[in-house]
Amino acid sequence: MEQYKQEFIDFMVESDVLKFGDFTLKRRKSPFFMNAGAYVTGTQLARLGEYYAKAIHETYGDDFDVLFGPAYKGIPISVVTAVAYAKLYGKEVRYCSDRKEEKDHGADKGGFLGSKLKDGDRVIMIEDVTTSGKSMEETVPKVRGAADVTIVGLMVSLNRMEVGLGGKVSALEEIKERYGFPTSAIVSMADVVEHLYNKECEGKVVIDDALKAAIDKYYAEYGVKNA
């Protein structure tokens, strides 16, 4: 596993973004929970943008123009990633996000924040985590309807590796099949378990034998083999 991915896993735990225990989600109980809203400091956000930038650079290369972050959590992620991309790779990319409610006045009226989408733009969608694909259902038509653009792919921070709403493949795979563009994540839960199992992070073992057994049981019921 690449060094930056190992660092990102530690970063999620240290930032209290990725937690382990017993959590009740909408449809099931889970031994882990991720909340990207816990990235709140300047240092955390700067590091988050760098990890996204590295993953995008490695996965999709530099042939893109816009980072699109769906409202709301995708807005700061797209901004900090655009900053990091310029810093790390010397490439200026624009950010764009949608509004939940269209603005009907002022110089920036309309349904988008940031850069306007233009014909010929190559766009990378960027999100925190995808569990159902609902945000893509709302935003992909907006992006494709705004201009003649190409969606290069989607990057999320964590692939939860769970069966999506269709009950057969992961949410990321469902998005790929439905909209026809690649999907990827900085790390997967398999990466997380591989990196943290019986290893110390901040002076304590995060995933011990008992938690590993709980995670294995969870994926036996809700996971997909080739997520």
CA distance 46 to 57: 16
Closest CA to 68 of 32, 94, 106: 94
- Active-site option among 54, 57, 87, 105: 105
Active site residue 103: yes
- Active-site option among 5, 19, 29, 103: 103
CA distance 59 to 66: 15
Q: Give yes or no for a contact between 201 and 13, defined as CB atoms under 8 angstroms apart.
A: yes
Active site residue 195: no
* C-alpha gyration radius of the chain: 18
Closest CA to 183 of 213, 163, 158, 214: 158
Closest CA to 62 of 79, 97, 86: 86
Active site residues: 103, 105
